[in-house]
Structure 1
Amino acid sequence: MNAAALSILTLLTSPLLNASSIASHPDSSSLIVYNGNIGLVHEKRGLSLDSGKQSLIYPDVASSIQTDSVNVIFPDGVSLYSQQYRFDKITAQKLAEAHLGKEVKFYIETGSGLIYKSGSLLSADSQAVVKTAQSEIYTVPVSALIFSYIPSELITKPSLIWNIDTPKINRGILSLDYLVNNISWKSDYTLKLSQKSVDLSGWITIDNRSGKAFKETRVNVLAGDIDRVQEPKKRLYMAKAAVAEMDAPAVQEVSHEGYHLYQIPFPVTLPNNQQTQIKFVDIKNIPVKRKYKAKFSNPFYLQGEAKHTISQYLEIESLDRPLPMGTVRSYSKEKETTLLLGESAIAHTPKHEKIAITLGKNFDLHATEKTLSSNSDRYYMDKTVYYELGNRSKESKTVELLVPFIKNDKGQSSVATKQQYRWENANLLSFQVSVKADSKQSFEVHYRAKKQ
């Protein structure tokens, strides 16, 4: 490293002086975390530059930095020629190499104990060679060397090094943007169910494994899938999570270019290799409907008889805000006992869209389908199917039964039944069947379709 770079490195931990230096901490910083396991870091730092060509070290960037994404803006008049990423992880070998030609201490093992000496380090390969003031030359293991300091040429924090030129003394603000990997966020929701409504709360969980701790930083998270050149890496998770202020100002949601940005209105500290949670949704008394659904077989693939369980879920007709994808955990109370009713994944959901939250399989409902007759010939498939729905609960239930069957308006297919139905997407029949408490309800359907 040249003398100019060493001079800059010495000044990194000092206040801004007349010589070239950069502030040790950002004047301002922000972070945007994306769904795709990346983050966009923005920082501004004070800068004081002497005139001439020099190397400038910008310390404490994330070790997962994407160096080809760096966008740095210097004050007017500063020319940038090249950039290097450096991070010297401290090892005994690197410390020895950095002490070549310098005074070091070392020890020699004898039968009576350790003898300590000092001298100039001449070589630092697998064995270190040291010359004492008495011109004695010793060969000792590198592990026998004793170091009293870390040489300034070792950059012990992930750093960017810029080779720049400025025609005159220049003071101003440096602006830096870069992408980092291994940082991600997700949303988790808690739904508390009462008889006719629910309370919904949501948490943003940021998982920071980027190799950098963000202190008192303005943090935003962006919901939406941006295009990337490479596939993102799998996310890693910590077992514990730090929780941000519970009663802080509300997180603001902003729609931008087809995405949704959630702005956290207070500075956030994100330690490296930890998770941090921030509350961003809190809605009370949302009207909700209980729904029940079963999916049946394509009638022409049904062989004999098949039994099916009934899924139960909650349906929210509309919310006045979008919800990013995440996991919804639904709870209710039986007297003083809290019960987990189920977990459900929701996709990115725009505002005013229906939200279906699956709970699980209903214990008291069951469905059966059975072939009554099959009269297929060379040209047509022809089958009659019997459906039965049982309800062993203490309340009447309405269950939606879904049957895959392609609609054809040219007389090539037909459905005949006394049970009311409707089409969904021209390839799915929906039967709404009401069943009284502790009873059964059945119906038959005749299907006919021309063979392809």
Structure 2
Amino acid sequence: MVLFIAAASLLYTQEMQALTLMGSASAQNTSEGTELTIYSQNIALVRESITVDLQEGINVVNITGVASRIDPGSVILEDTEQNGTYIIEQQFSTDNATVTRLLQNSLGREITVTDEAGSSYTGILLSHENGRIVIDSSGNIITFMDPSRIEFEASGDILAGPALTWQIYSPEAGSRTLLMSYLTEDINWEANYIVRLTDNESQASIDGWATIDNQAGTGFNDARIKLIAGDVRRVSGGADPEYATDQAVSEQAPEQFNEESLFEYHIYTLNRTTSLEDGETKQISLLSERDVPVEREYLFESSISDRIKVMMSTENTESNGLGIPLPGGIVSTYAEDSDGMLQFVGEDEIRHTAIGQEVRMFVGYAFDITGEKTQTDFQSLGESAERRSYSINLTNQKPEDVNVTVVENIYGDWEITNSSHNYTKVDAFTAEFDVDVPADGEETLTYTVEVRYQQAIPY
């Protein structure tokens, strides 16, 4: 960020009536660091500390290097030493130093124009339009069409890139430290997880990454980074599979983020500074845990698919090597083949997971386990009730026994009157059956359910 102060300080009376021109002021870009609080909703809160020399009265301050996607209405300016300092007027400009912009700001000023033949003329710029330039050179009106070179007088009116222009009132002269905060769009972060199954797929190494994407139109050097996990309301408008094979799994990486609660969200603070270039995507290690116990589960949801889901799960507890709030993100799962090489086996997206909750990942469908559901009977029990019977056949071509959880969605006021296997009523609309299927064999689940409805069944 670059900061300028124009020589436009005015003596300010309490009634804003007597305005007397004062001397010029000066300033240097002495930023003491940047703080970035990045939300997973494509916004960030930027805080910068600036040391500046202010004159008594009104000072015109130009600041360049701000994000081009800044929300001007979110700007906050604080004087750490003088409570009476505040912004009277603010202007945000996205104009760069283009030829058109330079010509517009040079109207009535002296410029030097070189034509295609190499001859140069100096004069006052009278107009410019559609590539044609008109100047008054010592009383001679000269026009140029598409000149080869234009020289402008240096002017503080033109700023490189997006800029904020402030009129700041200061009750007294002196050097001050100003704290500027603003919201900007097009900075986003998301969590990515790499899960590597080990020890016959009963344990896993889990690496979490905070992936930060900066498209805000400016870079941030040596910034202190905070990441917010949670859905913040506003009124406004995956990891590379090759990456996992390059990481060592024997040594746990040091923790880089400190986690704490903030309002109804969780905040992760990077314990060092880092830089974010404009247009850069950067990954920072969020967590790295080894020997996390995991379980494989087979799930048959006949109302959703006739295929059997493969789920991997663990508890987010300290005893399992986790025990921190996990921000939602993409989970990529890998397993070792017979040559010891990691192979990609599936991907899922998890939600924000609090401490003590189950982390459950859907990685794909079973190849050697199949299920088939058949309705075997139906009886009407009047206008608002019925009895249905089902048969679910599970086939296992694996060389080992497997356990399949059969999930049945039942709507209405229901009761299972007969079942070949034990079941659990999970909620008002879900029953789960626990079915063991032998190796190279099959097992059949049968059940009968009676359902009553609030209204008559429309046939």
Shift of 1:349: 0.2
Query: Does residue 1:87 correspond to 2:74, yes or no?
Result: no
Give the 3 Å change call, closer, same or farther, for CA 94–437 of structure 1 in structure 2: same
Task: Indicate yes or no: 2:25 matched with 1:20.
Answer: yes
Report how far residue 212 of structure 1 moved. 1.5
1:349 and 2:356 matched:
no
Q: 1:78 aligns with which of 73, 85, 100?
A: 85
1:93·1:124 contact (CA, 8 Å) conserved in 2? no
TM-score in terms of structure 1 length: 0.85
Shift in Å, 1:434: 0.3
Aligned-partner Cα distance in 1 for 2:111–2:203: 74
* Counterpart-to-counterpart distance in 1, 2:438 and 2:217: 60
Q: 1: distance between equivalents of 2:269 and 2:171?
A: 41
Residue aligning to 1:310: 308
Q: 1:19-52 CA deviation, whole Å, 9 max, x = no partner?
A: 5233314112201000111100111111211223
Does the Cα contact within 8 Å between 1:218 and 1:264 map onto a contact in 2?
Answer: yes
Partner residue of 2:214? 208
Alignment pair present for 1:386 and 2:391: yes
8 Å Cα contact 2:7/2:60 also seen in 1 = no
The 1-side partners of 2:436 and 2:171 are apart by 84
Structure 1 residues 328-347: aligned runs within 5 Å: 328-334=331-337, 335-347=339-351
Instruction: For residues 184-229 of structure 1, give each alpha carbon's deviation from its aligned partner in whole angstroms, at most 9, with x where no partner exists.
Output: 1000000010122101000001111111210001011010111212
| Range with greater deviation from structure 2 (349-358 or 69-78) | 69-78
CA positional deviation for 1:310: 0.5
Aligned runs of 1:266-345 on 2, under 5 Å? 266-297=272-303, 308-319=306-317, 320-334=323-337, 335-345=339-349
CA shift digits 1:368-426 (9 cap, x unpaired) = 11122222253331222111100001111000001112474xxx744311211111112
CA distance in 1, matches of 2:369, 2:8: 75
More displaced 10-residue stretch of structure 1: 98-107 or 81-90: 98-107
> How far apart are residue 145 of structure 1 and its match?
4.4
**Within 1, Cα distance between the matches of 2:345 and 2:263?**
37
* Dislocated runs of 4+, deviation >4 Å: 142-145, 246-249
Match of 1:136 in 2: 140
Q: Deviations over 1:245-291 (max 9, x none)?
A: x9675211112222111111111100111111100110110111110
Alignment correspondent of 2:17: none
* Equivalent in the alignment of 1:61: 66
1:415 aligns with 2:420: no
For the 8 Å contact 2:412–2:452, the answer to whether it is kept is: no
Q: In the aligned structure 2, how far is the partner of 1:8 from the partner of 1:396?
A: 84
TM-score, normalising length: structure 2: 0.84
| Deviates most, 165-174 or 334-343 | 165-174
> d(CA) in 1 for partners of 2:34 and 2:26?
19
Q: Do the aligned partners of 2:435 and 2:445 also contact (CA within 8 Å) in 1?
A: no
- Preserved CA contact (<8 Å) 1:87 1:156: no
Partner of 1:447: 449
Q: Is the 8 A contact 1:8 1:57 kept in 2?
A: no
> Structure 1 residue 337: deviation in Å?
2.5
1:116 aligns with 2:116: no
Paired with 1:85 and 1:376, the residues of 2 have a C-alpha distance of: 72
CA shift, 1:120, in A, is 0.7
Matched length: 415
Secondary structure at 2:189 match in 1: strand
The offset of 1:143, in angstroms, is 4.3
Q: Are 2:188 and 1:190 equivalent residues in the alignment?
A: no
CA distance in 1, matches of 2:254, 2:415: 60
- Tell me the amino acid that sits aligned with residue 208 of structure 1: N
SS at match of 1:22: coil
Change in 2 beyond 3 A, CA 1:98/1:326: same
Aligned equivalents of 1:221, 1:372: Cα separation in 2: 54
User: Which residue pairs with 1:159 in the alignment?
Assistant: 163
- Structure 1 match to 2:105: 98
Structure 1: unaligned runs, 5 residues or longer: 10-17, 232-236, 299-306
Distance (Å, rounded) in 2 between the aligned partners of 1:52 and 1:199: 62
1:373 has 2:373 as partner:
no
Verify the 8 A CA contact 1:96 1:142 in the aligned structure 2: no
Distance in 1, matches of 2:364 and 2:390, equals 27
Change (3 A) 1:53 1:321: closer
Residues 273 and 60 of structure 1, relative CA distance in 2, 3 Å threshold: same
AA aligned opposite 1:259: Y
